[in-house]
Amino acid sequence: MQVIENLKVKEKVYIEKLKNGLIVMIIPKKGIQKKYIIWGTHYGSNDSKFIVPGEEQVTEVPKGVAHFLEHKMFEQENGRNSLDVLSSLGVNANAFTTNTHTAYLYEATENFYEALDEFMDYVQHPYFTDENVEKEKGIIGQEIMMYDDYPEWKVYLNALEAMYHSHPVKLDITGTIETISHIDKEILYKCYNTFYNPSNMCLVVCGDFEPEEILKEIEKRLIEKKPEGEIKRIYEKEEETIVNPNVECKMEVSIPLFTLGIKCIPPKQKEKVKTHIAIEILLNMIVGESSKLYQDLYKSGVILNMPSFEYEFTDDYAHILVSGASREPKKFFDEFNQEVQSYIENGINEEDFARIKKMIYGEYVKEYNDVANISRMFLNDFMRGINSFDYLEEIASLDIDYAKQILVDNFKKDKMLFSVVKND
């Protein structure tokens, strides 16, 4: 078993690749009552066009299958719903689908191993029928319509559609009522058998465990499966330009909502962590709570609270999103743009850079206080080809010159767009 230790947070991760290809990560937390487990497959809403290992022809499935599959996994042949079974054991169970992966999880303070029986059973035993698939279409259809009525979701999705020409990241994870109408049990089984192979999955567990013991408990609950070859995922070639610099939508909102998007260059593998940290520092400097821009806009009533921001990236796409509410959204966009240009032309203040860098390092360290945060972080980073400890190591070596280069390369005016939802 490989052991990676980080002395900064005094944590270790034990990593084992099993014979069936499954990666197991164990992060022991001595004396902690809570236990958390998350089992993810590298299969998300982006993966609707692919070549199954051992086949030559391209398989294309309707948009929304990954999310649909996640919903159906809890229903068992014996008539039980595994989510209900886990809840009856007193554990907090859930699942989610992203653009890049699907995950099943639970958190427990007791009955962990009883829950593990059910958890590992349902993830490995799908049960799809014509009847239960048709029933689920109605349930997910209602979910799709509900999200269509959420201004916060609409402003976000409109930004992605204005950013990407063809990449599936622009599409709603749930699909549409039209696309899910074409899903049947054969499609679900094909996608399950392709993407839910252990060699395409990672299981992370965190709590008061002895690594060798919890590994044995996991192994004895695994059904026998041979590892597959690589799944070839096919995406249309994405243009570097954005689709539309401005998009507006009318909905019932008390204050206009906005999402400012910036289409970025996907970072190289060795630069992923460092680029992510640099962009996080830059966004905090430009429009974070202690920034001059935020203070000025807040005092003048242009914005009512601090915008949220994120940097999302994979091997084939990357973007920045800044979202919030503003009485004058156009003014926010213009001021943000001016601030970026000012940083490019005048440079980055050393004191501000050092202060924000220290703050972000503190936030990274805090993540290790909670078993849920640790587990989800390690799974999410694994899906991007990163070890979470790398953030703690890379931040120390990140300097102003590197941040300035990231600013110039990624915060380009012609790659910036603005999505607004307002009443009129």
CA 358 to chain CA mean position, Å: 25
Query: Exposed, middle or buried: residue 389 (CB in 10 Å: 0-12, 13-18, 19+)?
Result: buried
Same domain, 265 and 375: yes
Reference 71, options 23, 24, 120, 141; nearest CA is 141
Same domain, 225 and 266: no
The vertex-335 CA angle with 395 and 355, nearest 5°, equals: 25
Residue 144: predicted pLDDT: 86
In this structure, what CATH number is given to the domain that contains residue 214? 3.30.830.10
Tell me how far CA of residue 314 lies from CA of 46, 92, 330, in angstroms: 11, 30, 30
Same domain, 43 and 122: yes
Same domain, 213 and 259: no
For 88-100, the pLDDT digits (tens) are 999 999 999 999 9
Tell me how far CA of residue 234 lies from CA of 60, 102, 253, 335, 422, in angstroms: 9, 18, 39, 39, 37
Last residue of a domain, one of 233, 255, 285: 233
- Kindly state whether residue 368 falls inside one of the protein's structural domains: yes
Listed in sequence order, the residues at least 6 apart from 158 whose beta carbon sits closer than 8 Å to its beta carbon are 247, 249, 259, 419, 421
CA–CA separation, 217 and 35 (whole Å): 14
- Kindly state whether residue 303 falls inside one of the protein's structural domains: yes
The vertex-200 CA angle with 195 and 203, nearest 5°, equals: 115
The whole-model pTM stands at 0.92
CA–CA separation, 411 and 319 (whole Å): 10
Residue 147: predicted pLDDT: 79
| Residues in the chain where the model's pLDDT stays below 70 | none
Which value, to the nearest 10 degrees, does the dihedral of the CA atoms of residues 112, 121, 50, 317 take? Answer: -10
Question: Residue 262 belongs to what H/E stretch?
Answer: strand 257-263
Same domain, 203 and 351: no
Same domain, 172 and 278: no
Tell me how far CA of residue 319 lies from CA of 45, 141, 411, in angstroms: 17, 29, 10
Q: What letter represents residue 164's amino acid?
A: Y
Same domain, 113 and 256: no
CA–CA separation, 330 and 248 (whole Å): 11
CA–CA separation, 33 and 369 (whole Å): 12
- Kindly state whether residue 141 falls inside one of the protein's structural domains: yes
Q: Which two tokens stand for residue 93?
A: 């169970």
Residue 247: predicted pLDDT: 95
Number of domains present in the structure of the chain: 2
Last residue of a domain, one of 233, 262, 285: 233
Tell the residue number behind the tokens 């640099």, with chain if given. 278
Pairing of strands 416-422, 201-207: unpaired
CA–CA separation, 348 and 293 (whole Å): 14
b/e per residue 284-298 (b: at least 16 CB within 10 A): bbbbbeebebbeebe
Catalytic-labelled residue, pool 5, 60, 70, 131: 70
Same domain, 211 and 261: no
- Kindly state whether residue 355 falls inside one of the protein's structural domains: yes
Could you tell me if 236 and 139 are in contact, meaning their C-beta atoms sit under 8 angstroms apart? Answer: no
Same domain, 53 and 182: yes
- Kindly state whether residue 12 falls inside one of the protein's structural domains: yes
Same domain, 352 and 394: yes
CA 342 to chain CA mean position, Å: 31
Question: Residue 336 belongs to what H/E stretch?
Answer: helix 329-346
- 70 as an active site residue: the answer is yes
Last residue of a domain, one of 178, 202, 233: 233
Same domain, 369 and 400: yes
The parent domain of residue 127 ranges over 2-233
- Kindly state whether residue 239 falls inside one of the protein's structural domains: no
Reference 88, options 115, 59, 67, 49; nearest CA is 115
What 3-state class would DSSP assign to 289?
coil
Residue 143: predicted pLDDT: 86
Which value, to the nearest 10 degrees, does the dihedral of the CA atoms of residues 157, 163, 166, 169 take? Answer: -50
- Kindly state whether residue 240 falls inside one of the protein's structural domains: no
Residue 78: predicted pLDDT: 86
Same domain, 102 and 127: yes
